[in-house]
Amino acid sequence: MKSRTTILFILFTAAVAVLFAADIAVGSVSIPIRDVWAALTGGECDPTTARIIRDIRLMKAVVALVAGAALAVSGLQMQTLFRNPLAGPYVLGVSSGASLGVALFILGAPMLGLTGHAWLSSLGVAGAAWIGAAATLALVAAISTRIKDIMVILILGIMMSSGVSAIVQILQYLSAEEALKSFVVWTMGSLGDVTATQLALLLPAVAYLIIFHYIPLYGVQIAFRDYRPRNGFLGSTWVGLKHFKYFLHSPQFPQLMRNTVLLSLYSLIFTFPLPILLALLLNECGSVGYKKFVQNVTYAPHFISTVVLCGMVIAFTAPDTGIINSLVVLLGGKSVDYMTQESSWRAIYVISDIWKNTGWSSIIYLAALTSIDPSLYEAAIVDGANRMQQTWHITLPGIRSTIVIMFILQLGRMMNVGFEKVYLLQNDLNLGVSEVISTYLYKKGIVNANYSYSTAIGLFNSVINFSLILISNTVSRKVGEVSLW
């Protein structure tokens, strides 16, 4: 099955590349591939041919490719959100919402005497379509929170689509001939008039992806160099695996690995199951008011910043004024400075993490629970199953895929123990258990300006995390047929 999927992916990718090239080369005027390549790379080419390729056909082909991919992804997201293969943009009225937005912009604006420059009109059509589609989707999503029957939601979506179409037809009847012509051309879905100005709408997202996700990869090479800022990346001496060997043979390495792995394991063991348990308890709760109260109380700590949380932890565990030690002394015990005790530091870290994130992490499991067919519970009740049996045989298997995926992702972050929280709770007396790879990397790389060494440590950390994801995903796919890919 895996090899078949890989082959299909390669074939479809090759087909997309061939069709993209054909879309640029073939048209009312056929252009040889060599001239297409010359026009795209800036080589010698007839000016008319170059203009046709760069200003007309390339724009059209790019938009067609992006729009097709976006439509497929959005359809999959909607089918997943509404848990029905029929829940697409057309059925739920999202496409009609986009049509209404454009109709109001093209047909309604001239009726009110609102006109603008050509560039504003060009960008305004795209913006109006987005606003109309987003408003319709938000309305359908709001309805779905009240109505749980997906078939009713689909019927309402179809009715909404019909109502929106009626409004658009009224606008067409009342509009001027020129505006009506522009709207009809838009509804035909022609990409012939796409310009570079319209494609500029994609630039912010593309720029963010390139600047923050791809360009930084160029700097990874300093892990294999003795980097000196004045010499630059390429001017610094290539040393190969020197920094990796130094880290692996350093006296701090065993302690750093032990502290990082233990802290991650404790967090995984205690913080991963609790959101699942909380979601199951909330799902069984019959009182809506009490359920909302518990959700509000457990969600609220997530919005406390890490700095404030660490300040609260330090204040609560203070030996003289802390509320914990005050209770201990009141009960006849002795005051203890818990933050300086290596034996208690990990427990404090994990407990504070549980308090902060359990409620928020339970949201995804609560969402997964809504996808379970209620008729399964009805059949189990008829068969005499009690609450525990229903949970074990229906509820947990129903959210198994979500649990497995979240577990795989958690393993992928195993070596990335939260730097901010560890660093803020760290002091000289608990360094024996609190010094982890991320804090050591910060001190060596930023404080001591040893950039090559710290980059090597970070790359080592990332390789381990990636390996853990691959291993856990492979094991999960082999054992339970549930995986990320």
Q: What is the pLDDT along the chain (485 residues), one digit of tens a residue?
A: 556 767 877 888 888 888 887 877 777 677 777 777 777 777 777 777 777 777 777 777 877 787 777 777 777 777 777 766 677 777 778 888 888 888 888 887 666 665 544 444 556 777 788 888 888 888 887 887 777 677 777 778 778 888 888 888 888 777 777 777 777 777 766 665 666 666 666 677 778 878 887 888 888 888 899 888 888 888 888 888 898 999 999 998 999 999 999 999 998 898 899 999 999 999 888 788 888 899 889 988 988 888 899 999 999 998 888 899 899 888 888 888 889 888 899 999 999 999 999 998 898 888 888 778 888 888 988 888 888 888 888 888 888 888 888 888 888 878 777 788 899 999 888 889 999 998 898 888 878 888 888 888 888 888 888 888 888 878 777 776 666 66
Q: What is the pLDDT of residue 211?
A: 85
AA identity, residue 125: V
Helix segments in 108-149, DSSP class H: 109-111, 118-146
Which residues is 225 bridged to in the sheet? 238
Q: What is the pLDDT of residue 120?
A: 47
In whole angstroms, what is the distance from residue 278 CA to residue 269 CA?
15
Burial group, residue 164, by CB count within 10 angstroms (0-12, 13-18, 19+) = buried
Token pair listed for 246: 């130094």
C-beta separation of 309 from 356 below 8 A:
yes
Q: What is the pLDDT of residue 351?
A: 93
Q: How far is CA 247 from CA 2, 23, 223, 447, 454, in A?
A: 38, 53, 12, 17, 9
Token pair listed for 70: 């976006």
Q: What is the pLDDT of residue 197?
A: 63
Q: How far is CA 464 from CA 136, 332, 443, 458, 472, in A?
A: 44, 48, 21, 10, 12
C-beta separation of 107 from 140 below 8 A:
no
- The DSSP H or E segment spanning 238 is strand 237-238
Q: What is the pLDDT of residue 353?
A: 92
SS3 206: helix
